[in-house]
Chain A
């Protein structure tokens, strides 16, 4: 079940993209999602598509992963594209039936929206596929740091994030074990109608909750025994390093932005 999910998966590798600083990757992914809304004609979309595919190529990750990243959102994309196609007026009318109307602008808008969706998904998939979750949480902590000025609990949030990430595999294992244990006692997961399915989840969820709280208690005790007193006066073992390649990435993005502005109408 979990293996099909591409969202949030990390594929180990040693490409240029893999080695980039996670802060660069995180910020640039958001930046890309921002500038993609500047594209408004086919030249600019083509330009961004080529750029995205180039990044995908640089990451050396199998292209199939990206396509699978699109799959869970396929229905949303088709729905939006269909809405755009049939309800945009203007230009030459190709086909009409009641309130549905296929127009030149509609088709154009549909294709643009489709491109926009796919490119955004590709870029965010690229981010998660090439960045270990841990580095991502380090990057988030770093980026949030200025918020300390408004008393935002940056250290606590980042500790929460890294503990949550560290416990994801442990809890997945545990879920699997509880499911098997309950199956051995006759519970059918995923069988019957909706109500029965939901009822079958109870013998999974309750033990999982209890054991999570027990784990949390044990972990808190262990942390306290090791001298944890909160963020004050703590040093950091993990440190992020900014390299020349990160500066180059930023420069490349500046050029992409300039090119995009030049190409748009």
Chain B
């Protein structure tokens, strides 16, 4: 496994006079093909971190390495070719007047010839199951559909890394599931690296690794199982409790002796029926 993103001692301030930097001495590395979730409170620096990776923000000190290149002002555009980003608000990142125009926008920027664009737009829309909406305008789409179009726009560019900057936070539960399933599928098919910034428990549960940020610093990291077993502390970290954890807590309050380690929903079901049978 070779690292595709490396951050070394990254520090960033929005204003020189800010008392506390938005990012303070952050170092991390992400391997190719990994799905990493970054969680943390509002204002913990998650989004800032995402923006430093493709050069939308330039760090004050420290270095960002994407692929094997160190990000600087000269290679910023070639780095952006490797990194596709899906943002929070589905309305505000829709550039094109119709779905296909929007998917094509990134390719137009790279000067992809038109015949190839038509092909790639078609494929990308198929991958996110939006083909029948190709000529629709953004006002006619739901939030989840707009996010899927944004993902198609990223997929059509064939990046190595997809960054989801709270891409599901403005969607309803259905839209959220749709978008996560789409990303999951595309990640498997194209062997992408996914970096998702999220408050959403399901999104974090899908990750290979979870990073926890607090006040601009990286405070914890581990597998979702390890992070989720922190129990009630999760809420402080900026995540909701997963449903099995909530159930465990309610059972605990009623005096039931529950296992300490994290259980998935399936694990919880297994544990429940075995413990009922034992009685």
Residues of A whose CB lies within 8 Å of any CB of B are 133-134, 162-163, 165-166, 169-170, 173, 214-215, 218-219, 221-229, 233-239
Contacts and interface: CB of A to CB of B under 8 A. Distances in A.
A237 B85 contact: no
Interface string B116-134: 0110010000000000000
B97 A225 contact: no
A128 to B, nearest CB: 16
Contacts of B101: 237-238
B97 A134 contact: yes
A231 to B, nearest CB: 10
A15 to B, nearest CB: 19
B169 interface: no
B87 A221 contact: yes
B104 interface: yes
A229 B109 contact: yes
Contact of B138 (A166, A227, A229, A233): A166
A227 B92 contact: no
B98 interface: yes
Contacts of A225: 54, 56, 80, 83-85, 87
21 contacts: A166-B96, A218-B87, A218-B93, A219-B93, A224-B56, A224-B80, A225-B54, A226-B80, A226-B95, A226-B105, A226-B106, A227-B77, A227-B106, A227-B109, A227-B157, A229-B77, A235-B111, A235-B112, A235-B117, A236-B114, A237-B107
B17 interface: no
B6 interface: no
Interface in B167-221: none
A5 B93 CA distance: 29
B1 interface: no
Contacts of B111: 233-235
Nearest to A211: B92
B225 interface: no
A219 B150 CA distance: 12
B126 to A, nearest CB: 17
B110 A227 contact: yes
Contacts of B77: 227, 229
Contacts of A214: 92
Contact of B108 (A133, A169, A224, A235): A235
B113 interface: yes
Contacts of A173: 139
A166 B97 contact: yes
Given A133-B97, A219-B95, A236-B108, 20 more contacts: A166-B97, A170-B91, A170-B138, A218-B93, A222-B87, A225-B56, A225-B80, A226-B80, A226-B84, A226-B95, A227-B80, A227-B157, A229-B77, A235-B107, A235-B111, A237-B101, A237-B107, A237-B117, A238-B101, A239-B114
Interface string B7-23: 00000000000000000
Contacts of A170: 91, 138-139
Chain B interface size, as a band, is: 35 or more
Nearest to A234: B108
Contacts of A227: 77, 80-81, 106, 109-110, 157
Given A134-B97, A169-B137, A226 B153 contact: yes
Contacts of A218: 87, 89, 92-93
Interface string B124-156: 000000000000011100000000000001100
Contacts of A134: 97-98
B245 interface: no
A258 B62 CA distance: 74
B152 to A, nearest CB: 12
Given A173-B139, A237-B117, A222 B92 contact: yes
Contact of B114 (A162, A223, A237): A237
A134 B98 CA distance: 9
Contacts of A215: 91-92
Contacts of B35: none
A229 B54 CA distance: 14
Contacts of B114: 235-237, 239
A226 B97 contact: no
B94 interface: yes
A100 B106 CA distance: 66
A160 to B, nearest CB: 12
B107 A223 contact: no
A169 B91 CA distance: 11
Nearest to B92: A218
Contacts of B92: 214-215, 218-219, 222
B5 to A, nearest CB: 15
A62 to B, nearest CB: 23
A170 B81 CA distance: 29
A166 to B, nearest CB: 4
Contacts of A237: 100-101, 104-105, 107-108, 114, 117-118, 121
